[in-house]
Structure 1
């Protein structure tokens, strides 16, 4: 019994709440089990949320408003929207439900497509004196806008900003009003509100969006000076898009020396980013470089944990190994050296997402520029296999590594929400067509075999490169979005300039994808020399 109680404590301390809750149920400690099970439904992993929800409904039914709300949120995350509504309605069944409970009910009703009832729930919450009343007022106004009741939505959001000017949602609400004016072709009203957002909340993400909207409108009027002013305002505010603003300032500069100076600044302030990478090339600076990693002995604590993990794996106790890895990742506070040792050890053993997560944590203790940190966050497992496949298809191995890092983070077993499989994140229909062209008998299990998935994916990507004349940018865009939209984008005048082509990709996800893969390639070139490099005019 003592060992089991100790296991509960250890699992709970390590953040493995659901397993700890199950053990607490076995011990008939329903108070502890209830606390742990309901906390488990806040997990990032929806599989854990689903298991926690099942455990709660079967053995630990809700007794309080907060527990009903936890069930409602969990059901909503699992897209069981009607169930979410039922749980939220139970939470507000009391004579005086809290504003927080009414907001959760409103959210659940929105997810279930019941906008009319959601508006009523938000109205009840907004009329209370609780702190969530302000959030309810914002959500009601935003829902009115989305429901086609623009005039009422604009009025309610404007009142919300007037009553709660210091609220975190105030700039979001004002941006929604400005954007609606812009859509209704009331540009002067929209410009005034976007300018107000920039001035009142200069460092807010919506202020950054407002400045870029204003700069774009200035450019549409051929007012390059006005656009430059808004980009400069973004830089001076230290906005989220400071690097993008510097890039545009450089392209707008009339003097080439000024442009080179701005590009040099951008290369310094965004040394590991896409725009910094582009700027380094345009400023004529040498390629990115990373210092070599110096060998050092493992810290004692990390070595002990990794030896234990190896023993579990060698004994084929893979579930127990997963529990140990979960506990390692869940422990937030570790000495920097131990944390980095564990991150490297997990990556080396194939626990890619867990190791990379620890790598990002280590970046906060060291810096992102630290060579060991970078190699953990941007690993290259199975390098020989990937380079051989790249060589066979005449693809830059660094580009291939960069693409895989973005697609799957080198996790051969991962399946996306869209149904894409494995290392190269292939959709079954795409993989089947590639296999047919290769005259390979199709078997869906090929998608889950690392080298088969890699071969099919590289064959597909190499085909896209040939299709677009070895032009990397449209090939990457097509790998993400398909060839049909890329064909339209290539018909635009800016298509001949790869940098401008990337900036004008209309799909936000695809534009970010291309930028990230190109940035990754520069990082892999700096981190893992040497390899045969194919030059294509992009960094």
Structure 2
């Protein structure tokens, strides 16, 4: 039993407070460098070596200003942007030889297909422009290659630093140039490491491009088998690459492809969420394979995963049970047991416990073991095996006290004690939850502990303390889900206090974000290149440099500057993505004049005109709710495809989209149609409005229905017909849906507070669409 201890239940979350960010110091420790600290011999201070903090250069707004902003330079850039390259070149002829002028001259030469001039211009510029040296060398090599000057191309490509962002393209170019020079072994060596890369989760597939070069090299040396092997590897391991279909066209005797290549392709398709296509391949070939042969185990695992992602859980179980019983490869077994448990948890409830606990027992150190143990504990709790569930939840916490599942396990324990009306033990768990996660960038567990502490205090007749606790939660974390529902609870008792708290959350003004210190990122080549590309006006290239920088050891100053540069480049989507992932500490507290710009970047009003139109057409749906749903569903990516097959900004399933389109008397949308922002928002807004109407205006029920289906919500409400709304959300059986409801409501609250009528208007931003 957890002892209650001394828990201060008043209007402060100080017990759960975060430590200062590294580099911060308390006010009493700030000493003017012109003074000397006096020592008290009665209280000797330890001799600590003073280490200076490198804050890097101070960056002013002018340091990011465009080079082609005024006068003739602005005229030249305008002509370039309009495609009037001769005009731009003529203007630049009288503008000197600054490196940025020479760079634009080189780009103009490329645009005019004067490849020899471009190659010469860029190669001469490279050493004079250190911030863009490798990018300039790459351009020189590409121009020389286009001019069929393969000696120059190979020489210049080889000069690109192997650590540079441009290195991948340079190695591909080097391989192509050396192939033309008939230096086949050197050409293959140039791309060998790239050819070993697997398919990336998003973006260009350099591994596929390298395999294409390898195939071309083999073809040039008349090595038919080598060409076929490279093309087959491209087709099977990189099924989503644009070159895969071209590889298929080049492969001879396609009907004679080996089975393992077909299985590998199916695995890749399922990993890329092309589940139906992968399953079709596997269903044709799995019957000919016999478990426990390794290939059969791999194929059946992939087929089981495909069925699970298609929500065909009985089929997934039937396929995976023999894999879990007979296959011996540890990785295959772990994934099979975990996926088997996942499907069983949907259709058999407690049936998931056995495979999940078997995984934990066999491979306790596997990355999926914690997920499996927590899933088993939840399944036991749902089945009413309370004592066994408590034992497993305690085991989750003991295995990794600060881990991903420890907080959730503690909260599940709290709910068990709450349902048993064991208030002292329940409050002790809340204290432990808040204290255990008192540090770190995420404040979620501290907020949850504080909110439910208020609930327990009110239930115990200590209403004033409960209101103070909720008020502090709202003040310190106004934009979060728990801040929102804390104000709701206050409003039930004291509406004026709740209104004042909401108004206070929107009252901050706006500070100028510059100057600011760059910190150690100023030493990164990618940072210097990004700044130059921004100033040159090639803003679409800025994310490719900044996002390639290792951010794991960078301090907040560096990260904030990177986010601001992305935003200044008009790259709304990557700016928002970096902010929400790397500036979590900035986005958990109050909105202040200093951090307002970060809030606006992390919560942009992307596609706002389309959002407002779609919301208006959907019976006056709140546009901020649609904006929030879009942000959480797709992270502003209009081309995104989920593992379940949902598409676009509002992640519509094709069947749902077809139903809504018919309702609106529109033609049945294709996959390509659903990737268009306007139509996707129109259909998604209409569907959300309909679900909200059927939920009688309760956003929590509507959002849960949007995510998991309205039938699931109806069933969950029937299971707990008397549950208060806040507790009903916490007890949603699907963790994905629980978190989804909270995330969307957090985003909704943030949009309302950041862009409240009383708030200062944000600066104009470019669209997230690219």
Q: TM-score, normalised by structure 1?
A: 0.69
Q: Secondary structure at the match of 1:434?
A: helix
Q: Does 1:330 align with 2:548?
A: yes
The match for 2:583 is: 363
Does residue 216 of the first structure (1) align with residue 415 of the second (2)?
Answer: yes
Q: Match for 2:625 among 399, 416, 428? A: 399
Shift of 1:60: 11
Question: Pairwise mapping of residues 418-429 of structure 1 onto structure 2 (< 5 A)?
Answer: 418-429=644-655
Shift of 1:531: 9.5
Q: Distance in 1 between matches of 2:513 and 2:624?
A: 24
Q: 2: CA distance between counterparts of 1:416 and 1:140?
A: 21
Q: Which residue of 1 aligns with 2:705?
A: 478
C-alpha displacement of 1:366: 6.7
User: Are the counterparts in 2 of residues 386 and 400 from structure 1 also a CA contact under 8 Å?
Assistant: yes
CA contact (8 A) 1:476 1:514 kept: yes
Unaligned runs of 5+ in 1: 63-68, 84-101, 126-134, 312-320, 533-539
Partner of 2:205: 48
**TM-aligned CA distance change 1:277 to 1:417, over 3 Å:** same
Change (3 A) 1:223 1:426: same
Give unpaired runs (5+ residues) of structure 2.
1-150, 179-185, 216-226, 231-236, 239-260, 271-277, 283-293, 304-318, 345-350, 439-443, 491-496, 519-527, 590-594, 760-770
CA distance in structure 2 between the partners assigned to 1:114 and 1:465 by the alignment: 38
SS of the counterpart of 1:34? helix
For 1:76-475, what aligned pairs fall within 5 Å after superposition? 78-79=269-270, 110-111=301-302, 187-188=386-387, 190-192=389-391, 194-195=393-394, 197-198=396-397, 201-238=400-437, 241-253=445-457, 254=460, 255-267=462-474, 270-283=477-490, 284-285=497-498, 286-287=501-502, 288-289=505-506, 291-292=509-510, 294=512, 304-306=532-534, 308=536, 310=538, 325-332=543-550, 335-336=558-559, 338-346=561-569, 348=570, 351-360=571-580, 363=583, 370-392=595-617, 393-442=619-668, 444=670, 446-475=673-702
- Structure 1 CA distance for aligned equivalents of residues 616 and 328 of structure 2: 59
Provide the C-alpha distance between the structure 1 equivalents of 2:655 and 2:628, rounded to a whole number of angstroms: 24
* Conservation of the 8 A alpha-carbon contact between 1:17 and 1:37: no
Whether contact under 8 Å (2:530, 2:546) holds in the other structure is: no
- Does the CA contact (< 8 Å) of 2:327 and 2:333 recur in 1? no
Question: 1:111 Cα shift?
Answer: 4.3
Q: Which has the larger radius of gyration?
A: 2
The worse-fitting range, judged by mean Cα deviation, of 518-527 and 433-442 is 433-442
Cα deviation, 1:252-294, whole Å, max 9, x if unaligned, reads 2211123223324433564443113322443445123354253
Q: CA deviation at 1:170?
A: 8.2
Identify the structure with bigger relative contact order (alpha carbons < 8 Å, sequence gap 6+).
Answer: 2
Give the deviation of 1:380 after TM superposition.
0.8
CA deviation map 1:36-56 (0-9, x unaligned): 3334x2733286387369559
Distance 1:507 1:158, change over 3 A: closer
RMSD between superposed Cα atoms in Å: 5.0
Range with greater deviation from structure 2 (270-279 or 111-120): 111-120
Aligned partner of residue 519 in structure 1, secondary structure: helix
Q: Residue 244 and residue 256 in structure 1: after superposition, are their counterparts in 2 closer, same or farther (change >3 A)? A: same
Q: CA deviation at 1:524?
A: 0.9
Residues 343, 511 of structure 1: alpha-carbon distance in 2 compared, 3 angstrom cutoff: same
Deviation at 1:484, TM superposition (A): 2.5
Q: How far, CA to CA, are the matches of 1:437 and 1:140 in structure 2?
A: 41
C-alpha separation in 2, matches of 1:117 and 1:432:
37
Query: When you count helix as a share of all residues, which structure comes out higher?
Result: 1
Query: 1:518-537 maps to which residues of 2 (within 5 A)?
Result: 518-530=745-757
Determine if contact 2:575/2:601 at 8 Å carries over to the other structure.
yes
Note closer, same or farther for the CA distance 1:513–1:56 as it changes in structure 2 (3 Å cut): farther
Which of 173, 178, 184 pairs up with 1:23?
Answer: 173
Distance change >3 Å, CA 446–CA 13, structure 1 → 2:
same
Q: 2:196 aligns with which of 20, 30, 38?
A: 38
* Residues in 2 aligned to 1:365 and 1:56: alpha-carbon distance in whole angstroms: 45
Count of residues in correspondence between the two structures: 483
Q: CA deviation at 1:452?
A: 3.2
